[in-house]
């Protein structure tokens, strides 16, 4: 039985030696594995470092992407090129402890489960980021209808059958934890403490995180559309009643209905409509991207 471990790398040269040490230590008894590092257009010497390590151990495999395509694309590249019977994905910044891999492997070997994901009991991260992530997870797990997705991230191991299912979903808007949950099969979780990144700054800018959150929300639920619809219907009722009130006021001379009422309703309706158009736009943009059908990534060179 072979394990493929997929690790996206974007300017992580400081951490790679530590990561490799910890990986070798934790995999210990398991000898049949491949480490697939996906170099996502790093501009530091991550790639050289990996190539040097590969000289001594051909189980280190490298996919060099043609430029930076982002975390999800890098993971997809790794998954599509994995040849193991069991396939793990993890970050290269040691936030996902490699020590958990043997435990995940044992669970899958048992045969009762096809997917095991790391469940973050606690995460040590910058306060604002932690809070925003928690908020996203709340909303996403409620709106996507995916089961038990809250507080599980990328760190996971799945078997070949589950991987085939995952890869059969060819969409361009990829939120891998969502896709992994969507396929079903027998899924379980193991709890772990997510540490801070071992060194350096996060390679995902806050704007990247917002983009990822939007991709997840818009590709797994029509909740935003429903909100618009319900608000629209509420608006129709409210403005119908308000209209009657305005007319009566005019006829009976109760209160002056002047320009401020008109201005407020124009501003209010105008901004609501723009917001709704924005929500529609998000879906249309994603539909457009699907129809363009561009590859999710390009590979410059494979070291296999
Ligand atoms: N990463 C990547 N491409 C990117 C950004 C990040 O391959 O454009 C990798 C990065 O090297 C790391 C993983 O994806 O292994 C997660 O990134 P990071 O730790 O910066 O994200 P965070 O944990 O802060 O969400
Ligand atoms: Mg990280």
Q: Read off the pLDDT of each residue in 197-206 and give the average, rounded to a whole number.
A: 88
Q: H or E segment at 192?
A: strand 187-194
CA of 91 to the centre of ligand 2 (A): 6
Residue 133, ligand 1, Cβ within 6 A = no
- Among the bound ligands, the one closest to the CA of 212: 1
Give residue 10 CA to ligand 1 midpoint distance, Å: 6
Cβ of 68 below 6 Å from ligand 1: yes
- Collapsed DSSP state (helix, strand, coil) of residue 49: helix
Q: Which ligand sits closest to the CA of 176?
A: 1
User: What digits encode the pLDDT tens for the residues 39-59?
Assistant: 999 999 999 999 999 999 999
Mean pLDDT (the chain) is 93
- Ligand 1 atom 17, closest CA: 203
Contact 66, 41 (CB under 8 A): yes
> What is the residue whose two structure tokens read 């997929």?
6
Give residue 242's pLDDT band: very low, low, confident or very high (50, 70, 90).
confident
State the CATH class of domain 3-126+152-199: alpha beta
Site to substitute for ligand 1 among 13, 19, 71, most atoms within 8 A of C-beta:
71
Specify the pTM: 0.91
N-terminal to C-terminal alpha carbon distance within the chain: 19
Span 10-14, mean pLDDT? Answer: 95
Between CA 118 and CA 189 the distance in angstroms is: 6
Q: How much distance in Å is there from the Cα of 241 to the middle of ligand 1?
A: 52
| 163: CB partners within 8 A, 6+ apart | 79, 82, 87
Contact 176, 87 (CB under 8 A): no
Question: What's the pLDDT tens digit per position in 123-168?
Answer: 888 888 889 999 999 999 999 989 888 889 999 999 999 999 999 9
Half-sphere exposure of 134 (CA within 13 A, CB side): 11
Unique residue bearing structure tokens 């879906």: 283
Half-sphere exposure (Cβ direction) of 100: Cα atoms closer than 13 Å: 21
Ligand 1 atom with the smallest distance to the CA of 74 is 7
Rounded CA-CA distance 5/24 in Å is 12
Interior CA angle at 196 toward 194 and 202, to 5°?
Answer: 115
DSSP 3-state of 147: coil
65 has pLDDT over 90: yes
Q: Predicted confidence band at 35 (pLDDT cuts at 50, 70, 90)?
A: very high
For residue 284, report the distance from its CA to the centre of ligand 2, in Å.
Answer: 31
Residue 256 pLDDT greater than 70, yes or no: no
Q: Which of 18-22, 154-158, 231-235 has the lowest mean pLDDT?
A: 231-235
> Is any atom of ligand 1 closer than 6 Å to the C-beta of 37?
no
Higher pLDDT pick, 245 / 289 = 289
Confidence of residue 85 (pLDDT cuts 50, 70, 90): very high
Say how many residues make up the chain.
304
For residue 243, pLDDT beyond 90: no
**What are the CA-CA distances from residue 204 to residues 70, 211, 243 (Å)?**
9, 10, 49
Q: Is residue 116 within 8 Å of 190, Cβ to Cβ?
A: yes
């Amino acid at each position: 039985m072979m394990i493929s471990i997929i690790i996206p790398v974007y300017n992580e040269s400081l951490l790679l030696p530590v990561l490799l040490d910890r990986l070798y230590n934790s995999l210990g008894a398991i000898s049949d594995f491949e480490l697939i590092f996906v170099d996502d257009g790093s501009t530091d010497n991550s790639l050289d470092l990996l190539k040097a390590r590969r000289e001594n151990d051909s189980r280190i495999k490298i996919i060099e992407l043609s430029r930076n395509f982002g975390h999800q694309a890098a993971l997809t590249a790794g998954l599509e090129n994995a040849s193991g019977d069991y396939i793990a994905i993890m970050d290269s910044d040691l936030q996902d402890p490699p020590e958990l891999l043997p435990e995940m492997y044992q669970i899958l070997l048992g045969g009762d489960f096809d997917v095991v994901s790391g469940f973050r009991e606690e995460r040590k991260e910058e306060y604002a980021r932690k809070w925003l992530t928690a908020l996203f997870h709340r909303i996403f797990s409620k709106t996507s209808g995916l089961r038990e997705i809250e507080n599980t991230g990328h760190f996971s191991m799945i078997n070949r059958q589950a991987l085939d299912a995952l890869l059969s979903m060819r969409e361009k808007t990829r939120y891998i934890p969502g896709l992994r949950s969507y396929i079903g099969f027998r899924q379980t979780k193991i709890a772990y403490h997510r540490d801070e990144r071992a060194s350096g700054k996060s390679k995902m800018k806050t704007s990247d995180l917002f983009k990822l959150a939007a991709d997840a929300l818009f590709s797994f639920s029509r909740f935003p559309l429903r909100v618009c619809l319900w608000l629209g219907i509420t608006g129709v009722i409210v403005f119908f009643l308000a209209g009657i009130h305005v007319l009566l006021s005019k006829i009976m001379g109760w209160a002056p209905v002047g320009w401020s009422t008109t201005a407020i309703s124009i501003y209010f309706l105008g901004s609501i409509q723009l917001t709704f158009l924005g929500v529609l736009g998000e879906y249309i943009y994603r539909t457009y991207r699907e129809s363009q059908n561009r590859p999710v990534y390009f590979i410059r060179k494979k070291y296999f």
